[in-house]
Structure 1
Amino acid sequence: MSTLPRTVLVIGGGASGNAATILLRRAGVDVDLVEAKDDWNATAGSGITLQGNALRVLRELGVWEEVEESGYGFDSVGITAPDGTVLHVQPDLRTGGDDLPATLGMPRPRLQQILIDAVRDSGARVRLGTRASSFDQDADGVTVRFTDGTEGRYDLVIAADGLGSTTRAAIGISAKPEPTGMAIWRIAVPRPEGLTRTDLAYGGPAYIAGYCPTSDTTIYAYVVEAHRDRAAIPPQTYAEEMRRLASAYGGFWPEITERITDPAEVNYTWFDRMLVEGSWHRGRIVLVGDAAHCCPPTLAQGAALSLEDAWVLTEMLAETDTWDDDLLQAYYERRIDRVRSVVEASVQIGQWQLDGVRDADVPGLMGRTMTMLRELP
C-alpha cells in the first residue's frame, strides 16, 4: 500500500464513484467526492438486477449483508411464451463464486442509499450540488475549480460522472453514447405470489417482457420495444403506454398490469452503447463506469462492470506509490477486453431481436459471456 499522502477527487456519486471512494478511504487515501445533484439519491429507475460478479464487489465494499437483507436472491431464469407458458428454466451461473447467489434483485434507491451510508462512514468529504468546472493539469497533479467558486489540488481525479460525463468531454475524449434502437419501460409493483425468479417472454407486441423480484414483497417489471421519439410520448401517458404493451402477456402479467396506474412511477429509457477505446485517462484524470462504457441491460451487467472498474482501479492505486501514465494505461488494458466482450454481447442480443433473427444463439452467447465473468476482473 502507498505510504505517501494522497488526495483524490471523485466526480459523481453513483455506484462506481461511491465504490471508488469507499475503497480509497480504506487504503488511507484522502478523498473529496462531488455530486452534481442536490439530492444524492434522486435515483431514476425502479429496480436493479445484480449478477454475482456485482455482488462480489459489494462484498468487497463491506455492504453485502445489507444488500442481501434488502434484496431477493435467486439462481435461475425462466423463458416463457407470451401467454405465460414456461418453456424452459435455465440455472444461472454464479459469476461471483459459489457462495453468492447467481442473481439478486433489489430496489435501485435502496442500493444507492447503502452505498451513500458507506461513503459517509468512510470519512470522505462530500459536497452535493457541486460540479467541477475546469481542470488545470501538470506533472504532479490537477487543480480543479468548482461551480461553487472553490478550488482544490489533487493527485488524481476519478471521473465517475456517468453516461453524459462532462469530464470525459473536458479532457478531450470524443466518445459519446449512441442509441441501439431499443427502449425500455420499467415500474416497481407488489410481487405476485409465486413469483420467485426472473422470467423473460420473447415475442408479442414487445421484444422482451420480463420482471425481477426485488424483495419478499416487490418486483420491478419491464417491457422492451423499438425506441420512439421521447417528445412524442407525454409523461402523463407513461402508465397507459406501458399497460398497453404489458396487457398482451399472460402468466403473472395480468396481475402486474393491473398495478401500472401511476405515470410518475413508470420509467422510460432508451438503450445506449459506448466504449472508449485506446485509454480511459488523460494525464491524471481517469474514467470509470458509465463515463467509460455503457451497454444495453440485456445481460444486466451495467452496474457490475462499473463496480468492477472501481475495484480494479483502486486496487492498482493502493499497490504502488507511482501514480503515472503507465499505471493508468495498465488499468485500461486490464479492463478493456472484459468490458468489450460484455458491451458487444449485450448489443448483439438486442440487434438479433431488431433484425428478427429467429435462430440466434442467445443462450450460447449469454453462457460464454457469463463464464468469462466468473474470472476475477
Structure 2
Amino acid sequence: MNEARKVLVIGGGASGNAMTLLLRRAGVEVHLIEARDDWNATAGSGITLQGNALRVLRELGVWEQVEASGYGFGSVGITAPDGTVLHVQDDIRSGGDDLPATVGMQRPRLQQILIEAVRASGASVRLGTRAESLDQDAGGVTVRFTDGTEDRYDLVVAADGLGSTTRSAIGITAKPEPTGMAIWRVAAPRPAGVTRTDLAYGGPAYIAGYCPTSETTLYAYVVEANRDRASIPPESYADEMRRLTSAYGGFWPEITETVTDAAKVNYTWFDRLLVEGSWHRGRVVLIGDAAHCCPPTLAQGAALSLEDASVLAQMLTAADDWDDALFQAYYERRVARVRPVVEASVQIGRWQLDGVRDADVPGLMGRTMTMLRELP
C-alpha cells in the first residue's frame, strides 16, 4: 500500500474498533462513526472469549489489559440439573498454547479497553452519527452523514452489526433468521467455587450455564425456546429468569438469589446469518455480525468478528489495489472458516430443539474448535 488512503468504519463494536486500530497502526486515516451516543460502553453482561479471539486481542495490543480484567480458565464442566458434575472436559486452546483456552469477561469492560485504544490511536471518532447515504464511483465512496456533513473515502467498512443498515443500503438482501431458541443473561457476583464454565442440560431450560468474568463476577444464562418478546414485559425479566434458574442445583441457588433487578437481565433470540456470494459491493465491505452471525453455542461470535477485522486489515495493507478481486478473496478466505462454525452452532441448537439424545455434541465441538486453532 503505497498511497495515503482514508477509510470510514461504520460501527464501534468489537469488529469496528479492531478494524480501526489495525488500519491506524498501518498509517491509514480512519474515521469511525457509532450510532449510539454512549459507544455501547455499558451494554451487555458478560462475554466468553475463546483463544482465537484472544489471539486477535493480542494483535491489537490490548491482551495484557484483557488478561488483567478477565478470568482465564481451561475447562468446561457438564452437570446434571441438580448440580452433580458429570464430566469435565479440557478446552482446546484455539489461540495457541501460549494463550489461555478461554477468558470470561464483563462485556462493558472489554468495550472500554477497546474504546481507550481507539481514542489513543488518533482515529477520528463521532458518536451519535449514522451514514445517511453512500454514493460510489470507480474511485471511492461519498458519504453523507445524519449530522448534515459529507466526506469522501477510499473504502467503507460496515461493522454495524446484525441489523446492519449498510448491508441493505448496498443491496445485500440477506437478513438474520431466528433459530428457535432464546437466551436470558445476567451479570452476578461469582460464588467462590465457580472457576470455569459449567453447563447443565435439561430441566426447565435447554441449557443453564455460567462463566466467571473476574475474581468477583460472573455472567449466568439460561437457554429456552424463543417466545414472543411482546408477551414478556421488561419489568418481569428478573422474575422470569429466576423462575427458570430456581430449578437448578449446585451453585445456582446462590446465583439465583442475586437476580432481582429486571434492568440487568437481557433477553435475546438466537439468530443465524451468513451472507453468501460476497461481502462487498464496490468499495463497501461487511465485517462481523453484519456479514455473519450464529448462536453462542460455541462462543465464537466475537472471535469470528475480530478475525474478520484482522484478515481484512492484513489484506488491505499488503495490497496496492483495493478492488473487487481483493474483496472477493477476503470473502472466500473468511467464508471457508466462518461457514462451518455457523453450521455447527446452529446444529447444536437444532439437536436440542428436536430432542436428539444421541447427538455427538462433544465431537462436533471438538472438530470445530480444532479447526479454529489454525491461523485465519
TM range (shorter): over 0.9
Cα deviations by residue, 1:228-266 (Å, 9 ceiling, x for unpaired): 000000001000000000000000000000001110110
Q: Residue 214 of structure 1 aligns with which residue?
A: 213
In the superposition, the TM-score normalised over structure 2's length comes to 0.99
Q: Residue 329 of structure 1 aligns with which residue?
A: 328
The answer to whether the Cα contact below 8 Å between 2:83 and 2:249 also exists between their aligned partners in 1 is yes
Q: Does 1:152 align with 2:151?
A: yes
Q: How far did residue 200 of structure 1 move?
A: 0.2
Q: Residue 44 of structure 2 aligns with which residue?
A: 45
Q: Residue 265 of structure 1 aligns with which residue?
A: 264
Count, aligned residues: 376
Q: How far did residue 283 of structure 1 move?
A: 0.2
Q: Residue 308 of structure 2 aligns with which residue?
A: 309
Q: Residue 29 of structure 1 aligns with which residue?
A: 28
Q: Residue 255 of structure 1 aligns with which residue?
A: 254
Q: Structure 1: how far apart are the matches of 2:314 and 2:151?
A: 24
Q: Residue 165 of structure 1 aligns with which residue?
A: 164
Letter in 1 for 2:68: E
Q: How far did residue 297 of structure 1 move?
A: 0.2
Letter in 2 for 1:288: I
SS of 2:254's equivalent in the other structure is helix
Q: Structure 2: how far apart are the matches of 1:42 and 1:355?
A: 38
Q: Structure 2: how far apart are the matches of 1:203 and 1:281?
A: 42
Alignment of 1:167-206 (within 5 A): 167-206=166-205
Q: Does 1:108 align with 2:107?
A: yes
Q: Residue 89 of structure 2 aligns with which residue?
A: 90
Q: How far did residue 161 of structure 1 move?
A: 0.3
The answer to whether the Cα contact below 8 Å between 1:182 and 1:226 also exists between their aligned partners in 2 is yes
Q: How far did residue 41 of structure 1 move?
A: 2.7
Q: Structure 2: how far apart are the matches of 1:161 and 1:42?
A: 15
Q: Structure 2: how far apart are the matches of 1:336 and 1:263?
A: 38
Q: Residue 244 of structure 1 aligns with which residue?
A: 243
SS of 2:135's equivalent in the other structure is strand
Cα deviations by residue, 1:175-207 (Å, 9 ceiling, x for unpaired): 000100000000111100111000000000000
Q: How far did residue 305 of structure 1 move?
A: 0.3
Q: Structure 2: how far apart are the matches of 1:19 and 1:64?
A: 13
SS of 2:285's equivalent in the other structure is strand
The answer to whether the Cα contact below 8 Å between 1:44 and 1:267 also exists between their aligned partners in 2 is no
The answer to whether the Cα contact below 8 Å between 1:349 and 1:362 also exists between their aligned partners in 2 is yes
Letter in 2 for 1:175: A
Cα deviations by residue, 1:244-302 (Å, 9 ceiling, x for unpaired): 00000000000000001110110100000000000000000000000000000000000
SS of 1:95's equivalent in the other structure is coil
**Greater shift after overlay, 42-51 or 152-161?**
42-51
Cα deviations by residue, 1:137-191 (Å, 9 ceiling, x for unpaired): 0111000000000011000000000000000000000000010000000011110
Q: Structure 2: how far apart are the matches of 1:284 and 1:346?
A: 31
Q: Does 1:367 align with 2:362?
A: no
SS of 1:194's equivalent in the other structure is coil
**Greater shift after overlay, 43-52 or 164-173?**
43-52
> CA RMSD for the aligned pairs?
0.5
Cα deviations by residue, 1:89-119 (Å, 9 ceiling, x for unpaired): 0000000000100000000000000000010
SS of 2:250's equivalent in the other structure is coil
Structure 1 spans left out of the alignment, 5+ residues: none
The answer to whether the Cα contact below 8 Å between 2:47 and 2:106 also exists between their aligned partners in 1 is yes
SS of 1:39's equivalent in the other structure is coil
Give the % identical residues.
84
Q: Residue 126 of structure 1 aligns with which residue?
A: 125
Letter in 2 for 1:133: E
Q: Structure 2: how far apart are the matches of 1:44 and 1:13?
A: 12
SS of 1:121's equivalent in the other structure is helix
Q: Residue 141 of structure 1 aligns with which residue?
A: 140
Q: How far did residue 42 of structure 1 move?
A: 4.2
Q: How far did residue 16 of structure 1 move?
A: 0.3
Q: Residue 14 of structure 1 aligns with which residue?
A: 13
Letter in 2 for 1:191: R
The answer to whether the Cα contact below 8 Å between 2:41 and 2:111 also exists between their aligned partners in 1 is no
Q: Residue 345 of structure 1 aligns with which residue?
A: 344
Q: Structure 2: how far apart are the matches of 1:310 and 1:208?
A: 31
